[in-house]
Amino acid sequence: MQDQHGIAPSESAAAPAAGEPDHEAIIVGAGFGGMGAAIQLGRLGLTRLAILERGGDLGGTWHVNRYPGLAVDIASFTYSYSFAPNPHWSRMFAPGEELKRYAEHVADTYGLRRHMRFNTVVESARWDERARWWEVRLRGGETLTGRYLVTATGFLSQPKVPDLPGIGTFAGKVVHSTDWDDTYDLTGRRAAVIGTGATAVQLIPVVARRVAELTVYQRTPIWVTPKLDAPIPPVVRRLFARLPVTQRAARVVNSTVLEAIMVVGVLHYRHARLANRGAELLARAHLRRQVRDPELRRKLTPRYSFGCKRPTFSNTYFPSFTLPHVRLETSPIARVEPDAIVTEDGRRTEIDTLLLATGFDLWETNFPALRITGRDGLDLGGWWRANRFQAYQGLTVPGFPNLLSLNSPYSYSGLSYFTTIEAQMRHIGRLFGELRRRGSTVFEVTREANDAFLDRVTRLLGDSVFTLGNCAPARSYYFNQHGEPALLRPTATLSTLREAGRFPLSAYDYA
């Protein structure tokens, strides 16, 4: 099978020649990021790849998350690789299991499975200066070597379990949204959900339909706008399959609208405050239409500017709180007891099921997700923390030759994770093209290029809602422990993609 560029999946891996590393590239993570990198490296002619995955199967987020209600919250026309359109999505916002099947389909189409090793935890990686390759150590002691190291470990991959007093004493069932127990029957339960982020917004309406009582513990409300969702009729799916240009057109329209809502008004807040205000008004009107009780509405209304924290889309979230057996609790949790949650106002709510939609730890454990030691013993996590979090074009770091760190500071290009991946694939293509032209095997971004990029994103972020809006009450994971919004890349999606294909080749040293 060939992709739409007419490129066949890479040939079977050959054994390494003497003096060569075990693999041309080692990719950590078999989610959409790692698979995108593998596809690109395959197109560039690298055949000896290892894709190491700690989970039992491929798909990353879409393998791990199986909670009820799981679906994309960026419409599927946009939330997919542009080079591998899927005409078979059942809805505009496809359910989670379709994303998992899509990941499997992509892996099969591009022959990626043979490179994958599951249940394989990478603990550390060290640049071997003499051999000029990476030495990667696995849990259990095995060591692999690879000329290039690609970390594709995701942003949202280290689940956060809240450190609430007494949580360990809870005698009922505890389930984190990333570790859903499909065998656990919610029918008739007295359940609590902690958290009101994008996961909870999807989970709560489904849980509310099944349980006898539901208390939702909200610390920070979330901006929610209407979800323009509908099944995609078979006739349209057939049209997408026969005339792919029609699906590409749907992608362009959807991406343009999303760019206006989720990117322009957030990143260009100084000049596009009205776009941001418009999105906020839309969310307020949505809440007013769905919730009549002014007190409940007040509790559900965020006190921070739209976009400080990831907004989401739902038509069923707000109405859940109007059901007689569902209660929104906004008093902070004081402690958890074996059969109850007690809030600071003294209220004790008996529960038998505790559902944690408490999100992920990004900045403490995830940057990076494994110990990475570059030139001269430089530790990436330590360096990021001692200096500022930074990476050239959100991808490469000085002092770390031949490292492509996909989930780096300033890498996330706001529209959809696929935009980020595809920009990075393009960057890799240009970089490796130059390596080949020079007959080099080692690249390293220069300090000057890295510093200039950091200065530039810092300056651009000065125009964003993160700097000019009211973000302090948002508790947003976009901000790191130093209060810097170091996750999102503050450039428009199109310019991110354009730059990935045009960055100055002098940004790198080659050897």
Binding residues for ligand NAP, rule: CB under 6 A, are 71-73, 156, 160, 162, 164, 194-200, 202, 217, 219-220, 310, 333, 357-359, 475, 477
Structure tokens at 322: 């109007």
| DSSP secondary structure code for residue 11 in this structure | P
Q: Which is nearer to ligand NAP, 71 or 191 (CB)?
A: 71
Q: How far is it, in rounded angstroms, from Cα 122 to Cα 14?
A: 23
* Shortest reach from residue 477's CB to ligand NAP, in Å: 5
* Shortest reach from residue 357's CB to ligand NAP, in Å: 5
* Shortest reach from residue 29's CB to ligand NAP, in Å: 16
CB 408 within 8 A of CB 480: no
Q: Which residues contact 443 (CB under 8 A, 6 or more apart)?
A: 396, 401, 402, 431, 435, 508, 509, 510, 511
Q: Which is nearer to ligand NAP, 375 or 475 (CB)?
A: 475
* Shortest reach from residue 235's CB to ligand NAP, in Å: 27
* Shortest reach from residue 74's CB to ligand NAP, in Å: 6
Nearest residue to the partner ligand NAP, using Cβ: 197
Q: Which is nearer to ligand NAP, 52 or 261 (CB)?
A: 261
**Residue linked to tokens 């040293």:** 509
Q: Which is nearer to ligand NAP, 195 or 401 (CB)?
A: 195
* Shortest reach from residue 4's CB to ligand NAP, in Å: 25
Q: Which is nearer to ligand NAP, 186 or 198 (CB)?
A: 198
Query: In sequence order, what are the beta bridge partners of 422?
Result: none
Q: Which is nearer to ligand NAP, 103 or 357 (CB)?
A: 357
Closest C-alpha to 419, from 185, 25, 78: 78
Q: How far is it, in rounded angstroms, from Cα 316 to Cα 226?
A: 9
Q: Which is nearer to ligand NAP, 199 or 396 (CB)?
A: 199
The three-state secondary structure class of 245 is helix
Q: How far is it, in rounded angstroms, from Cα 241 to Cα 230?
A: 19
CB 123 within 8 A of CB 371: yes
Q: How far is it, in rounded angstroms, from Cα 403 to Cα 393?
A: 13
* Shortest reach from residue 71's CB to ligand NAP, in Å: 6
The alpha-helical segments, DSSP class H, found in 301-405 are 317-320, 380-386
DSSP string, 183-229: T---TT-EEEEE--SHHHHHHHHHHHHH-SEEEEE-SS---EE----
